[in-house]
Amino acid sequence: MNDWQTWSKTLQEVLSLARAPVAVSYTDSPAENASTGRCRVCSGIFRAAAGEVLDLTAENSACPGGSLYLGLRPQPPEQAETLREFLINGEKLFSCPAAIHRSWALSKVKPPLGMAKHVVLCPLAKSELKPDVTIFLCNAWQAARLVSLAWYETGMPMECDPTGALCKSVITYPLITGQVNVSLGDITARKSERMSENELFVTLPYVHLRSTIDSIDRCGAGRAKVELPPSMRQMIEASGGEPPEL
């Protein structure tokens, strides 16, 4: 069993996750025992969180936007006007063509076109491949703990981008930047996947996943016992404050 497969059980138990963490791995080889039917990326994330193994390719990825953001195939130029019409007058998530162009031009990440032929989504516990990124579907409390665990070792400020399509914010952005990302998911994906109002996403690139596991027994967001030293209590009270509940 690979390390990350055992990590999945630990993370689910410590954080009380209702859904399995989802491993996303880029590869040039087909995944064994994977579903190869047509599927939208956002649906694939939820299906993987429920236990399925999915192998997305340029041929079976069923959403043009998702195919682009995963880097499986480019958007044909002749589809640009149709996409603008959908984003502005269909979804009504952009006000005008300038807003669409600005979101693309100023984005830190561009789709990883040509990086690999297959994008495998599956429960982390089942992943035979090392995950490039791991997606957590969680509530705000679980997200706060994950962010603190990932931040514990280095204390480096995180640069998150929750905007745009779900596939971009939960896969493309953390994949390309190597940064932890927190996303609410786009409105259309939340509706189509019938997401709970309390659910959101935290994505950890592999290096942060490993660091998170190493932090669990040392960090107060994990299993470490949290304490308020007497000196700190005295300082708070002396300044007229009230000691927090830890």
pLDDT digits (tens, 9 = 90+) for 108-117: 999 999 999 9
Give the rounded percent of residues in the chain with a pLDDT score beyond 70.
100
pLDDT digits (tens, 9 = 90+) for 55-87: 999 999 999 999 999 999 998 888 889 989 999
pLDDT digits (tens, 9 = 90+) for 142-191: 999 999 999 999 999 999 999 999 999 999 999 999 999 999 999 999 99
Neighbours of 34 (CB within 10 A): 16
Q: What is the pLDDT of residue 181?
A: 98
Dmax (CA) for the chain in angstroms is 69
User: Quick one: pLDDT band at residue 239, thresholds 50, 70, 90?
Assistant: confident
Q: What is the pLDDT of residue 134?
A: 98
pLDDT digits (tens, 9 = 90+) for 16-54: 999 999 999 999 999 989 998 999 999 999 999 999 999
pLDDT digits (tens, 9 = 90+) for 130-155: 999 999 999 999 999 999 999 999 99
- Which residue ranges make up each domain of the chain? 3-74+111-238, 75-110
Which of 87, 93, 119 is CA-nearest to residue 23?
119
To the nearest whole number, what is the mean pLDDT of the chain?
A: 94
Cα–Cα distance for residue pair 240/48, rounded to 1 Å = 51
